[in-house]
Amino acid sequence: MLDAVSAQEDLFVYACGDASQLAPLLGGRERIEIVDAPEVITNSEDPSEAFKAKKNSSLVRGMQLCRENRDISGFVSCGPTGAIFVSAVMLLGRIGRISPMLTVELTKPDGSSFCVVDCGANVDVRAEKLVDFARMGSAYMKAAGVAEPKIYLLSNGAEDKKGSASVKRANELLRAEMPGFMGNTEGHSVLSGDADVIVCDGFSGNILLKTIEGAAKAVISELRASGLDGEALDAVYRKYDYNTQGGAVLLGTGLPIVKGHGAATAETVRSIILTSYRLAKNGLNAKIAESFSMHNA
Amino acid sequence: MLDAVSAQEDLFVYACGDASQLAPLLGGRERIEIVDAPEVITNSEDPSEAFKAKKNSSLVRGMQLCRENRDISGFVSCGPTGAIFVSAVMLLGRIGRISPMLTVELTKPDGSSFCVVDCGANVDVRAEKLVDFARMGSAYMKAAGVAEPKIYLLSNGAEDKKGSASVKRANELLRAEMPGFMGNTEGHSVLSGDADVIVCDGFSGNILLKTIEGAAKAVISELRASGLDGEALDAVYRKYDYNTQGGAVLLGTGLPIVKGHGAATAETVRSIILTSYRLAKNGLNAKIAESFSMHNA
């Protein structure tokens, strides 16, 4: 957190948590204000129950602060996804009628990046929602500097007629109304193709992301076992180790929320704060609202 | 094909295809009989239409031969999956009321292997079908020599309550009635865990397989670009290049059918014939029927 605040001189952080633990680390630092919120929501709790019961958790207290203070332009957390989701919808509201969803941005071998929408927030999804995800993903990549994002629909074949019932219908809808829609793509083309946005339901997206991570690690462990070694292997391993990366972003609520892994390191926290800073600077939520032709973001 | 026939002295092959092309290559060879079937079914044709119209294609003629001659114990093809599927159901029948599905066997970094059921034949699948896939996958791994296959259900989280509606229901059914069922698994654990069978619908399974292939190739291309080189990289690349492997197996019809990729090489053909030989020797279809407690296989 200190590194992130040092890196951006117009960045101000409210650090929500147990003040008795935070004060020795962050007390008296410039552009950091400690907000005492000693309760903790764990992964094993029911998200809605936890939201109601633990108003003084860092998660709920922090979102409440965002609700009260409209100058706050981003929220980051390494807490449980379900509780973040519930708290964000309850306290920050949605953009229009969109179902909030998670995106993760990944780097391809050629150095360019793409986002996957949805990565796990919505598992049983109708075609219309997939179109919403496409819009949000496109807005996200525009905020990342891609002028005309290329959008692909993840399926079990590249042809338009391939896919589950909802994917086939989504293909039709996207063909009819989504600028930048290029068609279906398959698992083996995600890292090698020209996609800026991969559209899928949260179940498939979660499998896609975790499989990329698992396969990359498996290949590197095999190469190490066969005697290869060196910095190149370590670098590629880190690249596909999503715990060390910028985190998933919850889109579709009143503020974009950047979520780091529960087992996050100091580097993760630095990274998610700087991602949140960048998204706010680039006006992500205004771009999402615009892509839905709304003006109430 | 010649290599496969040489490798197993009790193997007899009916080579179906254009006799004028096959005769110069295979004519007069021991334990090979040419069956003239000059028509070709392509990937762009409607499978059912092609099945009806092209009785003299290698695919339909070959299946017809299997139907007429019960001594034939396996069928291999590099033709279109849809047409193979339709022809097999029409000419060889199903085992009981099972929906036929595709499995692919993959090797893990530790050298053990596992199968994925379904890899793409059934995209919108109810929970009960996922249980059928688990039974067929377990029978397949038993035929491959695994005494008590460990079965996992692919989901977006390891906890029982995670997943789409059909996956959550399948978890309950598998917990109640499937010996060897271990619970849910996620994309990053598929290659590193102890699974013998990964159960999923054909949409997710297709994404899983192709993503493993794509991610492995992406990692290796990055390592090559960073200056690494050598046989270890080539070996791992080949391992995850499913076109060079043993092929997908269609399970649930009167004979197990081994399908190689359309762009198959001589090595692929050798490999799929030997896989088919091994499955027949190990009594795969009897094991599938047994796992459903049927006796009409």
Of B181, B221, B178, nearest to B198 by C-alpha is B181
pLDDT of A295: 43
Task: Kindly report the CATH number assigned to the domain that includes residue B268.
Answer: 3.40.718.10
Cβ neighbours of A206 in B, within 8 Å: 156-157, 186-187
Print burial letters for A1-32: b (CB count within 10 Å at least 16), e (below 16).
beebbeeeeebebbbbbeeeebeeebeeeeeb
Q: Mark yes or no for CB contact A214/B230 under 8 Å.
A: no
Q: Mark yes or no for CB contact B208/A204 under 8 Å.
A: no
Residue A63 is assigned to a structural domain of this protein? yes
Residue B2 is assigned to a structural domain of this protein? no
Any bridge partners for residue A249, and if so which? A103, A258
pLDDT digits (tens, 9 = 90+) for A233-280: 888 888 887 665 668 999 999 999 999 877 778 888 998 999 999 999
Alpha carbon of B101: minimum distance to chain A alpha carbons (Å): 14
Alpha carbon of B167: minimum distance to chain A alpha carbons (Å): 10
Q: Mark yes or no for CB contact A163/B123 under 8 Å.
A: yes
Q: Mark yes or no for CB contact A203/B230 under 8 Å.
A: no
Compare all CA atoms of chain A with the CA of B238 and give the residue at the minimum distance. A219
Cα(A133)–Cα(B231) distance, rounded to whole angstroms? 42
Q: Mark yes or no for CB contact A218/B216 under 8 Å.
A: yes
**pTM above threshold 0.80:** yes
Residue B183 is assigned to a structural domain of this protein? yes
Q: Is B254 exposed, middle or buried (0-12, 13-18, 19+ CB in 10 A)?
A: buried
Phi, psi of B115 (to 5 degrees): -115, 150
Compare all CA atoms of chain A with the CA of B225 and give the residue at the minimum distance. A109
Structure tokens at A103: 């995106």
Number of folded domains in chain B? 1
Alpha carbon of A102: minimum distance to chain B alpha carbons (Å): 13
Q: Mark yes or no for CB contact A209/B189 under 8 Å.
A: no
pLDDT of A246: 62
- Listed as ranges, residues in chain B with pLDDT below 70 are 243-246, 294-297
Size of interface A-B (CB pairs under 8 A): 166
Structure tokens at A254: 């009143």
Cβ neighbours of A153 in B, within 8 Å: none
Residue B245 is assigned to a structural domain of this protein? yes
Average pLDDT over residues A16-28: 94
Alpha carbon of A160: minimum distance to chain B alpha carbons (Å): 13
pLDDT of B93: 94
pLDDT of B244: 59
Average pLDDT over residues A138-152: 95
Cβ neighbours of B225 in A, within 8 Å: 109
Cα(A237)–Cα(A221) distance, rounded to whole angstroms? 9
Cβ neighbours of A194 in B, within 8 Å: none
Q: Which of B163, B190, B227 sits opposite A214 (nearest CB)?
A: B190
Any bridge partners for residue B104, and if so which? B116
Cβ neighbours of A240 in B, within 8 Å: 215, 219
Q: Mark yes or no for CB contact B187/A223 under 8 Å.
A: no
Q: Mark yes or no for CB contact A204/B202 under 8 Å.
A: no
Alpha carbon of B289: minimum distance to chain A alpha carbons (Å): 29
Residue B48 is assigned to a structural domain of this protein? yes
Q: Mark yes or no for CB contact A219/B236 under 8 Å.
A: yes
Residue A196 is assigned to a structural domain of this protein? yes
Boundaries of domain holding B217: 39-291
pLDDT of B187: 95
Residue B196 is assigned to a structural domain of this protein? yes
Round the CA-based radius of gyration of chain A to a whole number and report it. Answer: 20
Pairing assessment for the beta strands A257-259 and A75-77 based on DSSP bridges: parallel
Q: Which of A120, A192, A208 sits opposite B218 (nearest CB)?
A: A192
pLDDT digits (tens, 9 = 90+) for B38-97: 999 998 899 999 999 999 999 999 999 999 999 999 999 999 988 999 999 999 999 888
Of A190, A224, A193, A228, nearest to A210 by C-alpha is A190
pLDDT of B85: 93
Structure tokens at B233: 């990289």
pLDDT of B245: 64
Q: Mark yes or no for CB contact B219/A216 under 8 Å.
A: yes
Alpha carbon of A283: minimum distance to chain B alpha carbons (Å): 31
Any bridge partners for residue B94, and if so which? B253
Q: Mark yes or no for CB contact B208/A211 under 8 Å.
A: yes
pLDDT of B1: 87
Cβ-Cβ contacts under 8 Å for A134 (sequence gap 6 or more): A117, A151, A153, A174, A178, A181, A197, A199
Write down the ipTM of this complex.
0.90
Q: Mark yes or no for CB contact B124/A164 under 8 Å.
A: yes
pLDDT digits (tens, 9 = 90+) for A149-195: 999 999 999 999 999 999 999 999 999 999 999 999 999 999 999 99
What is the torsional sign of CA A268, A269, A270, A276?
positive
Q: Mark yes or no for CB contact B156/A109 under 8 Å.
A: no
Residue where the block lists tokens 């493993």: B212
Alpha carbon of A216: minimum distance to chain B alpha carbons (Å): 6
The total of other beta-carbon atoms located within 10 Å of residue A288's CB is 26
Residue B19 is assigned to a structural domain of this protein? no
Quick check: A88 pLDDT over 60?
yes
Quick check: A231 pLDDT over 90?
no
Cβ neighbours of A157 in B, within 8 Å: 206
Helix H or strand E encompassing B251? strand B248-251
Q: Are B59 and B18 in contact (CB under 8 A)?
A: no
Mutate to test the interface with A, among B153, B211, B231, B239 (most CBs of A within 10 A): B211
Mutate to test the interface with B, among A164, A189, A194, A203 (most CBs of B within 10 A): A203
